[in-house]
Structure 1
Amino acid sequence: MVGRRAQVLDAAVRVLGGQGTRALTHRAVDSEGALPAGTTSNYFRTREALLAGILGYLFERETAAFVALAGQPRPVSVDELAGRFGAMLRQLAGPARLLTLARHAIFLEAAHHESLRVPLLEWSERLWTWSADWLAAVGSPQPVLHARQLLAFGDGLLIDRLARGGDDEFAPEEALAALLESWVKSVEGPVDN
Structure 2
Amino acid sequence: MTDRRQLLLDAAIRVLGTGGPRQLTHRAVDAEAGLPEGSASNRFRTREALVTGVFDRLVEVETAAWQRLAADLPPGDVAAFAAVVGRLIREFTDQQRVVTLARYALFVEAAVRPDLRPAIEAARARLAGWGEPLLATLGSADPPAHFRMLLALVDGLLSNQLASPDDGFDPEAAVATLLRGLRAG
Class of the TM-score when normalised by the shorter of the 2 chains = over 0.9
> How far 1:118 moved relative to its partner?
0.7
TM-superposed deviation, 1:68: 2.8
Aligned residue pairs total: 185
Bigger Rg, which one: 1
| Equivalent AA in structure 1 for residue 120 of structure 2 | L
Paired AA for residue 155 in structure 2: D
Kindly indicate whether residue 162 of structure 2 is the aligned counterpart of residue 175 of structure 1.
Answer: no
Map Cα deviations across residues 116-163 of structure 1 (whole Å, 9 max, x no partner): 111110110011121111111111111111111101210110011001
Return the alpha-carbon distance in structure 2 between the equivalents of residues 141 and 3 of structure 1.
Answer: 44
Distance 1:131 1:152 in 2: 13
**Could you tell me which residue of structure 2 aligns to residue 96 of structure 1?**
96
Distance 1:53 1:105 in 2: 14
Structure 1: which amino acid aligns with 2:65?
A: A
Letter in 1 for 2:83: G
How many angstroms does 1:33 deviate by? 1.2
Question: Any conservation in 1 of the 2:73–2:81 contact (CA below 8 Å)?
Answer: no
TM score, norm. by length of structure 1: 0.90
The aligned counterpart of 1:72 is 72
Partner Cα separation in structure 2 for residue 2 and residue 18 of structure 1? 24
After TM superposition, the score normalised by the length of structure 2 is 0.94
**Shift >3 Å, 4+ stretches:** none
Q: Quick check: 1:74–1:137 contact (8 Å CA) kept in 2?
A: no
Instruction: Give the C-alpha shift of residue 71 in structure 1.
Output: 3.5
Q: Is the 8 A contact 1:82 1:176 kept in 2?
A: yes
Counterparts of residues 1-193 of structure 1 (less than 5 Å): 1-166=1-166, 168-186=167-185
| Percent of paired sites with the same residue | 46
Q: Which moved more, 1:156-165 or 1:64-73?
A: 64-73
- Residue 70 of structure 1: how far off its partner (Å): 4.5
Task: For residue 111 of structure 1, give the secondary structure of its aligned residue in structure 2.
Answer: helix
RMSD: 1.4
